[in-house]
Structure formats: C-alpha cells, structure tokens
Structure 1
C-alpha cells in the first residue's frame, strides 16, 4: 500500500465506523422520541411503544427478503437505497406530526422505517470485510460494538433534550442522523457480489443457527434489564428515575468489554466463549434471584461486560461460516436474531411479573450455553463451527 493509500484507507474505515454508529440512531432514540410524540398527540405514551413494536416487527419480517432483493447490486448501493427508504419514512412521520395526522399513520411509517434496518445492517457489515484485513477484523468489530453502545447511551439523552423543546425536533434529529450512513458508506464496499448464481439454498446450517440463537438469547437478556429497569428500581423502593442504577452500569460494562475486545484483537476460543456465555447466564441469575440491590447491579454489569465480546465472536464466526455472496443475508439474520430476542423479552415482561420474566430469560441463556457446550464436544476443528 502506498503512502497515500494508507490515509485513504483509514478515512474509509473511519467513515464506516461513523456510518455504523449512526445507523442505529433511530432505534436508540426512537423509544424516547416516539413516546414524547405520542404523549403530545394522544396524551398517552403507549402509542410510542406501539411505534417501536411496529418498527421492530417490521425489521424481523423485512430483513431477509430485502437483503435478497439486492443480490445483484453492489453492497454500498443497496445500503444507500435502504437508508434512503428509511429516511423518507421517518421524514413522513415528521410531516404527520406537523399536520397532526391520525396516529395510525405514524405507526405505519414507523413500520416502514423499521423494515429496512436488518437488511441495511447486513450490507453495512459485509462492506467492512472490504475495508479491513482479516487480522484486524476483531479490533474493528470491537470498536464498532463500543461505538454502538455509546450511541444507545447518548441518543436517548439527546432525544429527551430535544423533545423537551418539541417532540418534532427529536424525530427530525433522528431522521437526519439516521440518514448519515448513505452519505458516509465507503466506496470500497461497492464491488458487485460474486457468483450470485450460486447463492441459492438455505444458509441456516446447524452451526449458523446455533450462533443466531445465542445472539437472540443475549438480546433478550439485555432487553430484560433495560426494559425492566424502571420496575427493578420500584421493586427496591426507589423512584422510577433511578432506573439508571441498572442501565448505566450495563452500558459502561459493555463499553469496557468492547474496548477489551479491540485491544485484544483476536477471535476468542470456544472455551472463552463458553466462559462468556456462562458469565451472561450468571448475570441474568443474579438479576432474577439476587437478594439485594448490589447483587442485581452486579448481574447487570456481568451481562454488559460480555455483550460486546460475544457480539464480536458471533459476527466473526458467521463471517467464516457464510458463503461470501450470502454474507449480507447472514448478517441481516444476526441483527434480526437480536431484535427477536428483544421482542421475546418484551412479550414475557408483558405477560408475567418482572421476577418471573428474568427467570425465563435466565433459563433461555442457560439453554443456549448448554447447547454450545454440547456442540463444542462435537466439533473442535473450526473456530467458528
């Protein structure tokens, strides 16, 4: 690589990091922004939850079909098209707010915006392979995971601040920031996928399915803490605002875990992954059965500490297992699995008590940990399999 090439490569990679961080702004800021919008239009925040639910379900439904539509197009081009669709949908929500349109229209446009999220992530993640040598991919994914956590910490705060001025400002801000990936996606990812005619058939091998299940269980574990944080605070006799006692330690631990992954810059061994899965299971158990505030917070910290390392491993393992021309689809499934975990946790929290929901999530984490343990005895040759 020439002297001029190295800075250009760093700029492209920096553009990818910023694109990756801003891609999730609508999901991160949406719960606060949409709740404020619903409160202003209907006098009840439950409409905001309906918008987020519609967005998440649409993401699950649209991930694979929309990814497959782009098989004959360059990854960067598809990403731009998908982000453009989402931007139009979010801008339509802004117009509906300004015009005080019936609330079902806002839910409909939220679903349209969410439908592209999984596919967009799939293409963006596939582009990273063109920007980073395999030896540096763990570090890049660790940095991406860290920045993602920063987004999920700062975006709700920004949405709350702007929403205090006017809810429409919060939605407008997430619309603009959510459009940034279309402007920043590097051209290095524009190569046309090869051998598209060989891309037929199922990609859900047993090993790929196992890591997708693990990603879903981890998503459920994190969602149970974040969604149940207010109820946890109340259960210990604190005001609802003290929910940050659980969410902030989880996020800080996740940032620390992402930093450790970046510095280490190596794909974890199966033994380390088993230890990390066991750590998350223990964290869930402490949150579910912990006798004190301290043990519950410790559980949140344990969950957060292995969140980024596990996410990095899943991404690397799927990268190795998926056919090159099907990687965007597999990465979209990875994001979809995480969203499915969030939906599962939300549904369980709705149907049963907080303590029982945490026990259910603990059982789910324990199950996938046992499954990975069993699979480890059956296959040791391939680090991703």
Structure 2
C-alpha cells in the first residue's frame, strides 16, 4: 500500500470516527431542550435518550448481520442515511410541537442502526489501513472522539438556546458526514460460511470483558462526577473539574498509544489494568479532591486507550467476515456497561458504584493474569513434549573408525 494513500486513509478514517459520535454526544442536551419545548419538563429528554440507547443495544448485532453479504461501504452509508433521517424526524417533531412519543419513536429508529453502523465503521479501519499503522490510527480516532464529546455539548447548547429543533438538525447533519468522507472499500471475496454457534469466537470474550469493565469505570467517573464533588463537600461545579481531568488524561493516554504505535505485550496490558484499578480505588475512597483527581487521571490515561486496544485485539482474532458483527457487539457491551453504571448510581450511591467498578477491574486483571499463567504453563509442557530426545551415543570403536 502506498505510504501517502495509507496516511490519507488513516486521517480520513480517524476524522470519520470522531464525527460519527456527534449525534450521541449532542443528544443529551438537544433532547432535553426538545422535551422542555414539547412537555415543559427537561427530564423527559432522558426518556428520549434511553429509547435511543436501548434500541442500539437491541439492534446492533442483528442489523450488522443483515449486511454480511452486501458491499460494506454501501451498507454503512445506508445505515448512516437511516440514522440521519430519524434524527431529522426528531427535529421536525420538535419544531412542530408534536407529542413526546413521536420524538421517542424517531430517536429509537436512530439508535436501532447506530450500533451496527459503528461496527462497519470500525471494520473499515481493518480494510483501509495497513497493520503497521493500525494502533496509531486507533489512537488518533480516540482523540478525535474525545474532542467530539468535549465540543459537541457546547455546540448543541449554543444552538439549542436559539432553537432545540435547530440543534437536533445540526448534529444530525454533521453526524452524516462520515458517509461522505469515508473512503470506498473494495468488495471482499465471497464470505465464507460462519459458525452457527454465535459471533463470539474463543479468545475474544477476554477482550470484550476487558473493554466492558474499563468502560464501566470511565462511565462511573463521568456520570457520577457531581456526586463525587458533593461527597467531598464541594460545590456541584467542581464535578466539571473531575470530568475535565479524566478527559485530558484520556487524550494524553491516547496520544501516547498513537505515538508508540506498537502492540502491547501481555505484561503491559496487565499493568494498565492494574493502574486503572488503582485509579478507580482512589476515586472510590473519596478522601480528597486531590486523590479523586489523581484517580480520574489514572483511569483516563490507562483505561480509555485500553478500550481502543481491546478493539485492535478483537479485530485480530476474528475473520474479516465476522468483524462488523463483533465490533457491533463490542459497542453493545460498552454501552450496556454505561447503562448499568447509570442504574447503579441511581439505585445505590456513587461510592458503592465506584467500589463495584473497582472490583470489576480487579477481577479482569486477575482473570487475565490467570489466563496468561495457564497458557504459559501449557506452552512449557508442550515445548518439553516436542523436544527431541538426545541421540544415543555411538560406540567408541565407531568414533575411532570415523
């Protein structure tokens, strides 16, 4: 592959990866403002967002399977077109002061195709980018996505102050740009028959679990930032300092991963998991603002890049035909972790939720270590069995004759 073309494809894919997240990043504020205009209660916006997220969990893998025998680029563009049309329907419903049920239904349609579209977008990286640049490109994509989640809520709130419908329409249109900017992907050969047992091959579950527990820890800090600040007898505004620290640290960690551009040895993955566990524990202790900020920085610097690296490992362990489905499942898994954390914070408390997230991280680190030791033990036994026995010593007389 030509170096210039590969570099251009990497940047275009990373930009598409960041722009793809615009509707999801701006939806909480835009839907809250739309609900406020429709029912007079901004809390109804959470119902719209919940419908969008729930539909994503239900539709990610089944819809990804529908494109198994189709052109990957065309199917991705179809999914983006459906999402854009559904979001524009939300904007029209808001502008016409339609009932909240229409807004919820339109948002559900947008969410239904979102997980599958993510799977095909992530799969595009494996087809467009040479393996030597894959980790670097994933790091740049995470950086682009982090900037999206920083800028889009501000952008959505600014437009929403003028018109909530305008804010929804704007994030819908911007979110459709990956369908235009993503390079065309050559159609692969005829797909091979897939195993009927499921989309998760052996060995992938470990990386799915690793991504899930890291997403849970990051979500606990992001969603519970205000509660963490209140637990420290601080003003609610200090929650923004905690989320800002997490975001800046994740940008730093993703930049390091991109600059390093190397596959992590197993020991590095264990170290990063252990660091994320320690960081989550520092936040869970809730001793002071300094320890909470330090813990948030550690979780951001170690946990967020590790989620991206898990997708790299998952992509290496499945056939090309299965990648869109498995990447959609990865998106479903991390989204389910976020929903579970949100529910735990509401049902229990932020302290209990953070302790649960810490325990999940520790369990993942322990499980990965145990798996590594077992594989190493079996490898040593196998190598001993394959060693050729020493050749019998020749009689001394034959040596002399030779």
Q: Which range, TM-score by smaller chain? A: over 0.9
1:79-115 CA-partner distances (Å, limit 9, x unpaired): 1011011001100000100111110211111111111
Maintained 8 Å contact 2:201/2:318? no
| CA displacement at 1:13 relative to structure 2 | 3.1
Q: SS of the residue aligned with 1:379?
A: helix
Kindly tell me: are residues 70 and 193 of structure 1, through their superposed partners in 2, closer, same or farther at Cα, counting changes over 3 Å?
farther
**1:38 lines up with 2:35 in the alignment:** yes
The two structures have a TM-score, normalised by structure 1, of: 0.94
Which runs of 5 or more residues in structure 2 are unaligned? 380-402
Q: Which has the larger displacement, 41-50 or 251-260?
A: 41-50
The residue aligned with 1:64 is: 61
The one of 116, 127, 132 aligned to 1:130: 127
| CA displacement at 1:207 relative to structure 2 | 2.0
The two structures have a TM-score, normalised by structure 2, of: 0.90
1:92-148 CA-partner distances (Å, limit 9, x unpaired): 000100111110211111111111121111111111122211111111111111111
Q: SS of the residue aligned with 1:115?
A: helix
Kindly tell me: are residues 239 and 16 of structure 1, through their superposed partners in 2, closer, same or farther at Cα, counting changes over 3 Å?
same
The residue aligned with 2:78 is: 81
CA–CA separation in structure 2 for the residues paired with 1:44 and 1:231: 22
Q: Which has the larger displacement, 268-277 or 196-205?
A: 196-205
Q: SS of the residue aligned with 2:11?
A: helix
Maintained 8 Å contact 2:32/2:45? yes
Q: Which has the larger radius of gyration?
A: 2
The one of 255, 258, 263 aligned to 1:259: 255
The residue aligned with 2:367 is: 371
CA–CA separation in structure 2 for the residues paired with 1:165 and 1:84: 26
Maintained 8 Å contact 2:38/2:98? no
Q: SS of the residue aligned with 1:112?
A: helix
Tell me how large the CA RMSD over aligned residues is: 1.8
Which runs of 5 or more residues in structure 1 are unaligned? none
**1:151 lines up with 2:148 in the alignment:** yes
The residue aligned with 1:108 is: 105
| CA displacement at 1:6 relative to structure 2 | 4.7
Kindly tell me: are residues 193 and 293 of structure 1, through their superposed partners in 2, closer, same or farther at Cα, counting changes over 3 Å?
farther
| CA displacement at 1:196 relative to structure 2 | 3.6
**1:351 lines up with 2:352 in the alignment:** no
CA–CA separation in structure 2 for the residues paired with 1:367 and 1:206: 19
Count of residue correspondences: 378
| CA displacement at 1:198 relative to structure 2 | 4.0
Kindly tell me: are residues 238 and 161 of structure 1, through their superposed partners in 2, closer, same or farther at Cα, counting changes over 3 Å?
farther
Maintained 8 Å contact 1:72/1:196? no
Kindly tell me: are residues 217 and 341 of structure 1, through their superposed partners in 2, closer, same or farther at Cα, counting changes over 3 Å?
same
CA–CA separation in structure 1 for the residues paired with 2:262 and 2:74: 31
